[in-house]
């Protein structure tokens, strides 16, 4: 048996209970979970709101951001071994649809997500396919940092969607992924980086990570703030991380001709866009979901192990590290919208 955060049925709430350890299939590995990150998806699952009802089928164990140690491998596992410290790609793909067979696994039409459609990592043990395992071979990757490789991958996928060298970048939403995108954009050669939010705590975190301008959009408009950056024209690259209905329209209004926008934030309502401006200013809008498997993972590891400053900035996004037994406080902190990433420690539960 193992301790796990369990959703016992189609209702709000989670319970910390005893559950059977998961069985390890022939091509799977069992991982002793050390740390887990709390994601926005997990907040939906806790609340069992409309988004969760569309995603999950209870009973189930959520959690898809994790770091741990392999303790068991299946009979047909050959490339990872017991004792490896690992994170995991949470999207389990079919391998046979058109996109999978063309090498575009991130676009698999039959994706099953760890902690959403199959039991996840809010537990002492989780089982995933060997192909989804990412081994950390550098000791500089701490358990807290390893737990946020999944959202860091979202930041890397978004930030590296377009060339950044010498470009002026606007990021809307200073949540954990937006904060990590600052560090990636700086590493990749951006000229000026501006980020927006309404939380002063998050904006202060953004300044510490290297944003040239952190804008409280409850008080200041982006166009007015551009003057502080001595910008003559609009932003070259936009990264929409918030999903807020007003963020994308304001971003579009402040893009340079030929500007390119990567969209990661999921809107919760319809957004009225000035499509005329999109056309006449020749803007590009690109939707982002998850990580490019596994090119993003290689880029993530290479950046973190080769650039100590980047690694320090990304690690600083973890503002709360709590024992898993205090999961309720962790979820409350994650839902507050004011701090960085919340990580739960499962080693002493």
Q: Give the count of alpha carbons within 13 A of 329, CB side only.
A: 9
Dihedral pair phi/psi, residue 90, rounded to 5°: -80, -10
Q: Active site includes 196?
A: no
For helices 176-187 and 200-209, give the axis angle rounded to 10 degrees.
Answer: 20
Task: Catalytic residue, from 35, 36, 44, 91: name it.
Answer: 44
For helices 327-336 and 40-47, give the axis angle rounded to 10 degrees.
Answer: 110
From CA 150, how far away is CA 148, in angstroms rounded?
Answer: 5
Q: Active site includes 44?
A: yes
Confirm if 293 and 300 have CB atoms less than 8 A apart. Answer: no
Dihedral pair phi/psi, residue 318, rounded to 5°: -75, 105
From CA 27, how far away is CA 127, in angstroms rounded?
Answer: 10
Task: Catalytic residue, from 24, 35, 36, 41: name it.
Answer: 41
Q: What sign does the CA torsion over 149, 151, 157, 160 have?
A: negative
Active site residues: 41, 44
């Amino acid at each position: 048996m193992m301790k796990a955060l369990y959703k016992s049925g189609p209702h709000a709430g989670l319970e910390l209970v005893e559950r059977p350890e998961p069985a390890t299939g022939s091509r799977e590995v069992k991982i002793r979970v050390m740390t887990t990150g709390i994601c926005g998806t997990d907040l939906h699952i806790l609340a069992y709101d409309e988004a969760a009802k569309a995603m999950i089928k209870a009973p189930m164990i959520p959690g898809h951001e994790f770091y741990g140690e392999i303790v068991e491998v299946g009979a047909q596992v050959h490339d990872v071994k017991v004792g490896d410290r690992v994170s995991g790609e949470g999207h389990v793909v079919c391998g046979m649809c058109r996109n999978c067979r063309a090498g575009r696994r991130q676009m698999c039409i039959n994706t099953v997500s760890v902690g959403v459609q199959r039991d996840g990592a809010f537990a002492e043990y989780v089982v995933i396919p060997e192909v989804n395992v990412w081994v950390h071979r550098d000791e500089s990757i701490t358990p807290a940092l390893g737990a946020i490789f999944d959202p860091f991958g979202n930041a890397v996928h978004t930030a590296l969607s377009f060339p950044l060298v010498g470009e002026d970048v606007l990021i809307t939403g200073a949540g954990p992924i937006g904060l990590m995108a600052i560090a990636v954009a700086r590493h990749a050669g951006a000229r000026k980086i501006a980020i927006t939010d309404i939380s002063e705590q998050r904006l202060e975190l953004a300044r510490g990570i290297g944003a040239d301008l952190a804008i409280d959009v409850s008080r200041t408009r982006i166009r007015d703030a551009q003057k502080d950056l001595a910008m003559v024209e609009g932003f070259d690259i936009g990264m929409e991380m918030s999903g807020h209905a007003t963020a994308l329209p304001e971003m579009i209004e402040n893009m340079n001709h030929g500007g390119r926008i990567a969209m990661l934030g999921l809107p919760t309502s319809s957004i009225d866009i000035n499509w005329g401006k999109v056309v006449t200013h020749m803007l590009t809008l690109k939707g982002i979901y998850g990580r490019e498997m596994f090119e993003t993972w290689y880029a993530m590891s290479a950046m973190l192990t080769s650039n100590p400053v980047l690694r320090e900035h990304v690690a600083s996004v973890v503002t709360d590290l709590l024992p898993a037994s205090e999961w309720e406080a962790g979820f409350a902190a994650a839902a507050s919208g004011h701090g960085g990433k919340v990580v739960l420690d499962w080693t002493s539960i």
